Structure 1
Amino acid sequence: MDDMEIYRQLGQNVARARGKLGKTQAEIAAQIGLTRASLANIETGRQKVLMHHVFRLANALECRSVLDLIPETFVFADDEPPITTHGSQLSDQQHAAVQRFVQIAGKR
């Protein structure tokens, strides 16, 4: 999984807990010192969350522990293996074209 998946899962758990309490994003956000827009971004996994906000969220959402909000387990995605064309049946010109493409794509 990519790193942002942690935040997506956290956000889903926050939204679920908030829904169970019947509170609005604005109510919870005000309680923990964030804007409603920030809480909306957290709930959708678009915003990284500071640790002290996780604790404030757990308190505001009446969780037994911050562990109720974070993923139970998580496996980080490994870095992609390098692309290699050595040993393939590409011509020198094709090999050079692939290398240029990889360099250009890597800059984006």
Structure 2
Amino acid sequence: MNPNPIYVHIGSIIRSRRKALRLTQEMLASRLSISRGGLANIETGRQNILVHQLYEFASQLNLEPSDFLPVMPREGSRLDQADLPLPTDLKKSQKEQIARFFDAADLNSDQ
């Protein structure tokens, strides 16, 4: 089963920020009272994150909960990759995949 791109996006932000703060998975997982394996699954998008967990992650990573979420496209406009708040360590192919996801969502909302 392929992870939902939104959870991949959130997980990549968590992983990027954790590394920027020089935290290991064990350290962050301990602070959040979750298992290291659970954190690894969240970071890869294989495990969904609940709203209350998003707030806990934000608190531990010195972010706002909204920092994890991509900007919704404006009505009538196509989403450009530059509009997405993506981590800087993503590969070009990963950025393109996320942009395609939002392009598809934009097309489906027109129907």
Separation in structure 1 between the aligned mates of residue 24 and residue 72 of structure 2, nearest angstrom? 28
Per-residue displacement from partner, 1:39-67 (whole Å, max 9, x unpaired)? 1001001110111111000001111x111
The alignment's TM-score, normalised by the length of structure 2, stands at: 0.62
**Match of 2:39, as an amino acid?**
L
- The aligned length equals 77
Alignment-derived partner of residue 27 in structure 1: 27
> Structure 2: which 5+ residue stretches go unaligned?
74-101
- C-alpha distance in 2, partners of 1:71/1:40? 21
Measured in 2, the distance between the counterparts of 1:53 and 1:22 equals 21
8 A Cα contact 2:14 2:43, kept in partner: yes
Whichever residue aligns with residue 66 of structure 1, its letter is P
Q: Percent identity?
A: 32
Shift of 1:22: 0.3
Q: How does 1:7-46 map to 2 (within 5 A)?
A: 7-46=7-46
Runs of 4+ in 1 over 6 A off after TM superposition: none
Q: Partner residue of 1:66?
A: 65
CA distance in 1, matches of 2:51, 2:24: 22
RMSD: 2.3
